[in-house]
């Protein structure tokens, strides 16, 4: 019973300690460079939990595949073959165009676009917390994944890697409100920045003056100016433009192409060493 | 030896709560996901305040931070504060009926989410959407069942 009487002040002291520790952690995580390493270590420490947590879903989808009827499998196979054929046809053309493009770029004396290595990764866990749009991927430093690596899916840019463990890594999505990337409007070539808002289907395009030529339906592509995302990948489509003359900038919203709330597989990009060569001379400035 | 009876079972239930927190789910369902880890910690604080209190809450909150990717320490702080309130008043809360407990827990959960939002707002500048408060409601609805389940669990394994 003694324990009960001595609990009052003891609890307060413990709370004080806990609050101090938490505030310390927040400061370390938010305002120091160390936190990326710390996070990477912690991500790898807890990665077994992600594997266990996604087990029911894996089993369930495995079972669905098991019980899929023969006919449906055949149909799916035929459909996939057709898609493959069509895309291979397009790829032949693309190969030719790429060659032509690099020749033209060489003639112009500008840096060639490099098409780096790619790797398919599966999403282990998506955490839906509105304050952090992040996913955990099943590829880590053992597969050569590094921090700040761009991530795309079949329809557009998804995000970038923020911390890496040996067998899993954590990616920040473009919709997270701490994320922003440099984009270019396809129609007019205006360069701007698209930042996340913490909503799955909305980005905000910022710092566009009232006179800027942008309208609903404009495609926004990566500009490559952030030195992170390779140029030319689709990011979002402009969904709403509000002009208010009393404001210095327009309010423009865009919808990401990638379906960020239902991604299963993503493609990790290595933009290639050539791009780094191009960018590194700028760093001393 | 009798004092440390069933500590493993407590940790097991906390582990399951953490798994439920990160289990992949469709986007529409996820908005309504109750804060399992916090609910389970609060149950144990109420039932065995000598065994589970602020330290456990802090560690679990920290793990939640790591798992869900919020700024480290945000969940740890919110968990600790809410657990402190419950730990100080556990004798009163225990005497309430389950429905009253659920209503009171709604208040605690709202406090937890507000703390989380304030801290995240200061640190990363998130915007508030009313939809962020759905887990408060689902947490209240889940509480009676969780309470019943965990009490059976506690009595079954004679955790004290």
Per-residue pLDDT tens digits for A38-61: 877 887 788 888 888 888 878 887
- Give the number of other CB atoms < 10 A from CB of residue A107: 8
**pLDDT confidence of residue A160:** 92
Tell me which residues of chain A, numbers 43 to 72, contact chain B at a CB-CB cutoff of 8 Å. 43, 45-46, 49-50, 52-54, 56-57
**pLDDT confidence of residue A230:** 86
Tell me which residues of chain B, numbers 94 to 113, contact chain A at a CB-CB cutoff of 8 Å. none
Chain B positions touching A177 (Cβ under 8 A) are 124-127
Q: Indicate whether B41 pLDDT > 70.
A: yes
| CB contact (8 A) between residue A46 and residue B67 | yes
Question: What is the 3-state composition of chain B as percent helix, strand, coil, each rounded to the nearest 5?
Answer: 80, 0, 20
**pLDDT confidence of residue A147:** 85
Question: Which of A4, A5, A8, A15 is the mutation pick for testing B, counting most B CBs within 10 A?
Answer: A15
In chain B, which residue's Cα lies nearest the Cα of A163? B69
Residue range A100-139, pLDDT digits in tens: 888 888 787 766 555 667 788 888 777 656 677 888 888 8
Read off the DSSP letter of residue A144: T
User: According to DSSP H, which parts of chain A are helical?
Assistant: 2-5, 7-31, 35-53, 55-66, 70-108, 273-279
- Three-state secondary-structure class, residue A44: helix
> What is the pLDDT averaged over residues A64-90?
86
| CB contact (8 A) between residue B24 and residue A14 | no
Residue range B100-141, pLDDT digits in tens: 999 999 999 999 999 998 988 888 777 787 878 888 999 999
Q: Indicate whether A95 pLDDT > 70.
A: yes
CA A219 to chain centre: 18
| Residue A22 touches chain B, beta carbons under 8 Å | yes
> Mean pLDDT in chain A?
82
Residue in A235, A239, A207 with CA at minimum distance from that of residue A221: A235
**pLDDT confidence of residue A32:** 77
> Mean pLDDT in chain B?
87
> What is the pLDDT averaged over residues A26-34?
80
| Residue A116 touches chain B, beta carbons under 8 Å | no
**pTM beyond 0.80, yes or no:** no
């Amino acid at each position: 019973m003694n324990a009960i009487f001595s609990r009052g002040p003891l609890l307060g002291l413990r709370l004080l300690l806990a609050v101090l520790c938490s505030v310390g952690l927040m400061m370390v995580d938010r305002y120091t460079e160390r936190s990326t390493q710390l996070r990477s270590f912690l991500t790898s420490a807890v990665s077994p939990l992600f594997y266990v947590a996604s087990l029911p879903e894996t089993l369930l989808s495995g079972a669905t595949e098991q019980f899929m009827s023969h006919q449906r499998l055949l149909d799916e196979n035929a459909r996939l073959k057709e898609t493959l054929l069509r895309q291979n046809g397009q790829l032949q053309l693309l190969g030719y165009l790429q060659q032509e493009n690099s020749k033209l770029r060489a003639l112009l004396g500008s840096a060639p676009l490099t098409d780096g290595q790619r790797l398919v990764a599966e999403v282990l866990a998506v955490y839906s917390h509105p304050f952090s749009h992040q996913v955990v991927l099943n590829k880590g430093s053992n597969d050569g994944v590094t921090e700040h690596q761009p991530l795309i899916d079949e329809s557009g840019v998804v995000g970038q890697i923020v911390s890496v463990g040996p067998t899993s890594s954590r990616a920040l999505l473009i919709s997270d409100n701490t994320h922003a990337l440099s984009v270019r409007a396809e129609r007019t070539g205006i360069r701007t920045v698209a930042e996340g808002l913490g909503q799955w289907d909305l980005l905000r395009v910022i710092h566009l003056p009232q006179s800027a030529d942008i309208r609903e339906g404009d495609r926004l592509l990566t500009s490559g100016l952030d030195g992170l995302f390779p140029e030319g990948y689709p990011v979002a489509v402009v969904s709403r433009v509000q002009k208010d003359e009393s404001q210095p900038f327009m309010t423009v919203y865009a919808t990401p192409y990638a379906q960020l709330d239902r991604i299963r597989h993503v493609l990790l990009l290595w933009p290639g060493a050539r791009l780094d060569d191009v960018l590194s001379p700028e760093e001393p400035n | 030896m009798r004092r440390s009876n069933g500590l493993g079972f407590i940790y097991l239930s906390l582990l399951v709560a953490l798994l439920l927190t990160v289990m992949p789910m469709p986007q529409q369902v996820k908005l309504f996901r109750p804060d399992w880890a916090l609910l389970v910690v609060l149950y144990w604080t109420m039932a065995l305040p000598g065994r589970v209190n602020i330290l456990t809450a802090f560690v679990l909150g920290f793990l939640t931070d790591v798992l869900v990717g919020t700024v480290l320490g945000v969940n740890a702080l919110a968990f600790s504060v809410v657990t402190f309130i419950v730990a100080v008043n556990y004798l009163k809360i225990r005497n309430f009926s389950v429905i009253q407990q659920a209503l009171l827990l709604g208040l605690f959960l709202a406090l937890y989410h507000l703390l989380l939002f304030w801290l995240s707002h200061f640190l990363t500048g998130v915007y508030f959407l009313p939809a962020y408060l759905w887990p408060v409601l689902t947490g209240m609805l889940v509480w009676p069942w969780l309470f019943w389940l965990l009490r059976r669990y506690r009595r079954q394994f004679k955790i004290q």
